[in-house]
Structure 1
Amino acid sequence: MKNRNKLEEFSELAVKTAELIAEGRDWSEARSKIAEFYDVPVFRQPSDEEIESALRCHYSIYDPQGHALRLLELRETALFIMRELSAFQPRLTKGVLSGCADQYSDICLQAVSEDLKAFQIALLDRDVDFTVLPNPKSGRKEFAEEVVFEAPLKPNGYFAVNRMTVWVRVKVFETQPPVRQKSEKTPDAWQIPLEAAKSVDIDGLTRLIDSTRV
């Protein structure tokens, strides 16, 4: 009961949105459901930061060990992919980094390739089937395209045993995107400093895995 009281520090809307996301709804669908049920416009809903924090709190209460193991598997998978694509300066972003990711989450990466075909060839050389989604807003500070493919699953790991697909989404920039090496915010009670970073490179992810290994 004491642990559950931790959720009381969040708004009801943040808690309910986090519950829907934990059940497998994507963020936009969860927000739409909450907006419809509570008759609250989207612009008056909790911020992404509050929902993320409520989601981490939710996992820490209802499935701390299971979530930690699944998150570790996602991070180790991300590290393997990043090492394979090390020539393209890969960086991990979003939920797998921040600790919000779970069994329905994608692995989100950034990469840099002046020649977009070179990145695709690197995947083809590794027998990876992928889909390319061009970015119509591509510009100097925007990614040129997003490349989506299935992640290699860990033998006998959670995702392989449960026959679940993990998707990798790589935003490919033609020039180095602006990167803030340090965290822009203070970690919440369910994070360590590296998890609050905007993105991490291979070395940063390695340190994160070593720091949070179950």
Structure 2
Amino acid sequence: MRNQQQRQQIAETAARIMAQESLDDFKLAKQKAVARLGLSQSRNLPDNQEIEQALHTYQKLFYGQEQSQWLTQQRHTALQAMKMLQSFEPCLVGKVLSGTSHEYSTISLHVFCDTQEEIAWLLMEQNIPYEISERLYPGIERKYPCYRFMAGETRLSLTVFPYAEKRQAPPDPVTGKPMQRMTEKKLKEMIVENG
């Protein structure tokens, strides 16, 4: 019973840290929570799903309407980006999809094409300055190109996958299961449904 209470306390503290510090790193949030609670390195740490659930609860309780407005704006921005990237079959992933984004969250999209240069050409045609890096996913040895750019005040991240991997999503950092992906059509429906 004591172990379960301590685990819950760490999850709630980590969630509060993530919300208050606009932090996206679960591991770092756990470490900070353990330190703030004055615990020795515990083996009884909550998993990412427990922290994400605590984060949902914390955001509803303390940010309610504000967080709902950020999320709505981010989803509208994601939809506009997806329209621009339509030929690359974009899918929304991550915190903006799950509903745990904060004011400064990056909108993450997965796009699909045969050569990553196609994305660069589109961004150059649209006069959008970008940075390129690589993204690694746990359990996958391959690196994926990742384009980052700004849409107004919002950061966007496009991870480029070959068409052959469209039905094979990488592992979700929260659950370890294949990431949930949402198409433009489904995102439109979600926005309409949520008003």
Given the two structures, how large is their TM-score scaled by the length of structure 2? Answer: 0.80
Give aligned pairs, total: 176
Q: Residues 33 and 167 of structure 1: is their aligned pair in 2 closer, same or farther, counting only changes over 3 Å?
A: same
How far is the alpha carbon of 1:142 from its aligned partner? 4.9
Q: Residues 70 and 204 of structure 1: is their aligned pair in 2 closer, same or farther, counting only changes over 3 Å?
A: same
Identical positions, percent = 21
For 2:154, the aligned partner's letter is V
Correspondences of 1:50-61 after superposition (within 5 Å)? 50-61=50-61
Q: Residues 80 and 21 of structure 1: is their aligned pair in 2 closer, same or farther, counting only changes over 3 Å?
A: same
Name 1:168's counterpart in structure 2.
156
Correspondences of 1:23-38 after superposition (within 5 Å)? 23=20, 24-27=22-25, 28-37=27-36, 38=39
Structure 1 stretches of 4+ with a deviation exceeding 4 A read: 140-143
For 1:22, the aligned partner's letter is A
The unaligned stretches of length 5 or more in structure 1 are 1-7, 154-164, 185-196
Query: 1:93-152, CA deviations, whole angstroms, 9 ceiling, x for partnerless residues?
Result: 010000000102110110001011111101111111111113578xx99563111111x2
Q: Residues 142 and 207 of structure 1: is their aligned pair in 2 closer, same or farther, counting only changes over 3 Å?
A: farther
Q: Is the 8 A contact 1:92 1:109 kept in 2?
A: yes
Name 2:176's counterpart in structure 1.
none
Name 1:19's counterpart in structure 2.
16
Query: 1:5-35, CA deviations, whole angstroms, 9 ceiling, x for partnerless residues?
Result: xxx9x81111111111111233243223124
Correspondences of 1:25-174 after superposition (within 5 Å)? 25-27=23-25, 28-37=27-36, 38-41=39-42, 44-135=44-135, 142=142, 144-150=144-150, 152-153=151-152, 165-174=153-162
Q: Secondary structure at the match of 2:30?
A: helix
Q: Is the 8 A contact 1:132 1:147 kept in 2?
A: yes
Q: Is the 8 A contact 1:143 1:174 kept in 2?
A: no
For 1:198, the aligned partner's letter is Q
Distance (Å, rounded) in 2 between the aligned partners of 1:136 and 1:94: 15
- Cα root mean square deviation, aligned: 2.6
Q: Secondary structure at the match of 1:11?
A: helix
Name 2:193's counterpart in structure 1.
211
Query: 1:174-194, CA deviations, whole angstroms, 9 ceiling, x for partnerless residues?
Result: 23425379xx9xxxxxxxxxx
